Amino acid sequence: MIVSDFISSIEKKIDRGEDLDEDDIVYMYDEADVNDLGKLARKITEKISGNRVSFVSNIILNYTNICNVRCKFCAFYRTGKEDDAYTMTPDQVIEEIRKYYPLGIKQVLIQGGVNPNLDLDYYIDVFRKIRKEFPDVGINGLSTAEINFISRKARMSYEDTISVLRDAGLETIPGAGAEILDEDIRVALGRPSGSGKQWLEIMETAHRIGVKTSATMVYGHIEKSINKAHHLIAIRDLQKKYHGFLSFTAWNMEPDNTQLQREGILKYRSQAEDVIRNVAISRIVLNYHLPIIQSSWLTNGVEMGQLAIIYGSNDWGGTIYDERVIPATGKQVGNLRKEIIIRSIRDLGMVPVERDNLYRTVKVY
């Protein structure tokens, strides 16, 4: 089957409302022309959101870098013994947000590590303080690994833990921790056994009780195309059940200063074609089930963020002010104010739409 015939068959499946299977997805990764994929992905996106591209005025707040999981792909974590290990107090969290709030912040993404010194009361205190001081800012907080640890330490179910955090102010849960869901890949990356099923269980629990979340995938390490196919299908299947995912983002791994690099397993980051291929395939596979595909500009730069939009994404993500996780790899991302995002979207002939944490329109530019 030549590429054009293959893409035509994929498009017909989509038009008939059929889901793509493993073979379809692996073919797209391994053999399909990336530009053909991009054209189909963009066509789907235009049916969903036209020429509008959303973004959020956001800060990423890394409240601690102490973590006892110690993933091989992470350069950010500290054991707690290092000179640069830290944990913010709730008041310090408030002061950090206050620095950027005048810029029109609508979302705070609060994540750190699985810090064994912190318990449920700490997070309740943090979220209550944020909600009191900044009632119009949505809290997009904690990875599934953090929620799992908080739950176990409090001896509470996932449902009860998420409910208590929601009552304290947590609005949505980010997709961090998904990486690649297949067990063998996760264990090789240093994730605990069973953590993929745990990610899905916590996300499903959140969706069932009405808490929206995001979904992610980290590629460009030791995974194969079939692993990415399994991952996308798992996300799609859960989305069809509750429609609880607000967005999907595929991140390419940054290898510098990680254990994977030190062990010689991974030396280089993904190239541009791999980035846009993952964007296009995620749009095609998730289709109309999950309307928002983010551009993952943070690990790839503004120009690649623009390319991602051309290849099927319809959300830029957020502004960045002093994010700490990616810089731990040695890659400097700097700050990205909304004026740059607006200009970057307009340069593509698209309409920038500022949104809030729940993807509701704040302003059309």
10-residue mean pLDDT profile of the chain (365 residues): values are 76 94 97 96 97 95 81 60 84 95 94 87 97 97 93 97 98 94 90 92 98 96 95 98 97 66 59 93 96 84 93 93 49 70 96 98 97
The residue among 71, 117, 69 whose CA lies nearest residue 261 is 71
Supply 138's token pair: 């949505």
- If you count them, how many residues does the chain have? 365
Question: CA-CA-CA-CA torsion for 290, 224, 33, 298, nearest 10 degrees?
Answer: 60
Task: Classify the phi-psi angles of 210: left when phi > 0, otherwise alpha if psi is within -120 to 50, otherwise beta.
Answer: left
Other CB atoms within 10 A of residue 209 CB: 15
Classify residue 321 by its DSSP letter.
S
Q: Is 151 annotated as a binding residue?
A: no
End-to-end Cα, the chain, rounded Å: 44
Question: CA-CA-CA-CA torsion for 22, 268, 62, 54, nearest 10 degrees?
Answer: -60
Axis crossing angle, helix 144-154 with helix 195-208, rounded to the nearest 10: 80
Q: Sign of the C-alpha dihedral, residues 236, 57, 66, 165?
A: negative
Supply 332's token pair: 């400097």
Q: How far is Cα of residue 56 from the mean position of the Cα atoms in its chain?
A: 14
Q: What is the pLDDT of residue 258?
A: 57
Q: Is 73 annotated as a binding residue?
A: yes
Taking the C-alpha atoms of residue 144 and residue 287, their distance in angstroms, rounded to an integer, is 25
- Radius of gyration over alpha carbons of the chain, in Å? 20
Other CB atoms within 10 A of residue 351 CB: 16
Q: Specify burial of residue 250 (Cβ count, 10 A radius: 0-12, 13-18, 19+).
A: buried
pTM metric for this prediction: 0.89
DSSP for 229-258 reads: HHHHHHHHHHHHHH--EEEEEEEEP--TTS
Amino acid found at 284: I
Supply 343's token pair: 């200009």
**Domains recognised in the chain with CATH numbers:** 21-364 (3.20.20.70)
Other CB atoms within 10 A of residue 70 CB: 14
Helix or strand holding residue 141 (H, E)? strand 138-141
